[in-house]
Structure 1
Amino acid sequence: MTFGTTVSRDAVTDGEFHAFFERRHAELSRLAYLLTGEPDAADDIAADALLEVWRHWDRVSAADSPSAYARGVVANLCRNRIRKLGRERLGQRGWGTLWRDRAHSTDADVPAVVDVRSALRLVPYRRRACLVLRYAFDLSEQETARTLGISVGTVKSQTARGAAQLAELLRAQPENGGES
């Protein structure tokens, strides 16, 4: 009776979530990488976010944009990780320990991409999140605001300030030892 209904409903729910997982995992992992700059942590953050989505799947799947909810969870997990790492490393070895060794990357990055990624890590989190969601993920201002839980006006100002700061960092990079 009810047992058969529960099993059937669970199978449908499992199938819906599995399809969502397959469509969104790579995107969420890429978002985590761009927000943290840590390729090793990106898949873990995406997996943690998808676990949270699964826990609330009934509510998430009924929402207007389950993808926006999942991106928001990733953004929050990234922000928490960055804060935690900052607290752990404060006073130990300075900012240099926050950088990952690029030798671990399997990407064939051109120097310009490496420069942008390095500079992006110096942009404060909220500005970085707005830049990444707006330009790397091509989200609208409204979608970005919904993902980050902030107003559209804040998205506009943080994106503009972040773009200006990123441009300044990129202009200053060669002077700071980028090329000999």
Structure 2
Amino acid sequence: MADDDGFREFVHARLRRLSRIAYLLTGDHHAAEDLLQNALVKLASRWSKVSAGGAPDAYLRKILYHEHVSAWRRNHHLRAEWSTAEPPEGGSGRDMAAETVRRLLLEQALAKLTRKQRAVIVLRFVEDLSEADAAAALGVSVGTVKSQTSYALKRLRELAPELHVLVREPKEAWA
């Protein structure tokens, strides 16, 4: 890889956000680390071409979501998913108990979705991508993103009605 420093800077600047996204996709810290590591290895092998093209974020996002779905296809019969609760990061003046409850609700709700539905929800509502950008990241049509979003939201309303807390305070809920 010709531009080691550029790759390191790219990863360092985005690692926390990428880790959070990988965790929301997998629902498990170890699986999230594996997912992100695999995606970064693939990006590293193509870094000079991708960075020259000017869209490494979009490219990495696509790798991340494709790896997530591919891992499920390979291992869906071998692995059970478990929701876990990690203590939230500290901060003064914040209602840590309420943030913890919101985080737990979100983790439990995402665990109730299929991997494709979870990917669409994370892309649309955590990463705040448009339907077109989410479709490009997943390599599917905009119609597929719309239908998967609709199915996922319907399923969440049915299986996790407690999520009304997240609807009232969307910005804090994803913190």
Q: Is the 8 A contact 2:123 2:129 kept in 1?
A: yes
What pairs with 1:144-159 in structure 2 (closer than 5 Å)? 144-159=134-149
- Given residue 104 of structure 2, which amino acid in structure 1 is its aligned partner? V
- Deviation, 1:64, is 4.8
TM-superposed CA distance for 1:83, in Å, is: 3.2
**Distance change >3 Å, CA 156–CA 101, structure 1 → 2:** closer
Q: Deviations over 1:127-162 (max 9, x none)?
A: 111111110111111211111111112112211221
Q: CA deviation at 1:56?
A: 0.7
SS at match of 2:76: helix
Range 23-32 or range 135-144, more displaced? 23-32
User: How many residues of Structure 1 are paired with residues of Structure 2 in the alignment?
Assistant: 154
- Correspondence for 1:24: 14
Where do 1:79-118 residues align within 5 Å? 79-89=69-79, 97-102=80-85, 105-107=86-88, 110-118=100-108
Q: Identify the match of residue 120 of structure 2 among 114, 124, 130.
A: 130
1:34-61: CA deviations, max 9, x gaps?
1110122222321221111010112211
Give the structure 2 partner of residue 54 of structure 1. Answer: 44
Q: What are the superposed Cα offsets for residues 89-116 of structure 1, whole Å, 9 maximum, x if unpaired?
A: 5xxxxxxx421453xx232653343123
Aligned residue type for 1:145 = A
Shift of 1:166: 1.1
Moved over 6 A (4+): none
Percent identity, aligned pairs only, is 36
- Deviation at 1:72? 1.4
Query: If you compute each CA radius of gyration, which structure gives the higher value, 1 or 2?
Result: 1
Alignment match of 1:171 (pick from 157, 161, 171): 161
User: CA separation in 1, counterparts of 2:102 and 2:16?
Assistant: 23
Q: Quick check: 2:50–2:59 contact (8 Å CA) kept in 1?
A: yes
Tell me, in whole angstroms, the C-alpha distance in 1 between the residues paired with 2:47 and 2:28: 28
Aligned-residue CA RMSD in angstroms? 2.3
Normalising by structure 2, we get a TM-score of: 0.77
Contact (CA 8 Å) 2:87, 2:100: kept in 1 or not? Answer: no
1:160 to 147, 150, 154: 150
> Which consecutive unaligned segments of at least 5 residues does structure 2 have?
89-95, 164-175
Q: 1:24, CA displacement in angstroms? A: 2.2
Give the Å deviation of 1:85. Answer: 3.7
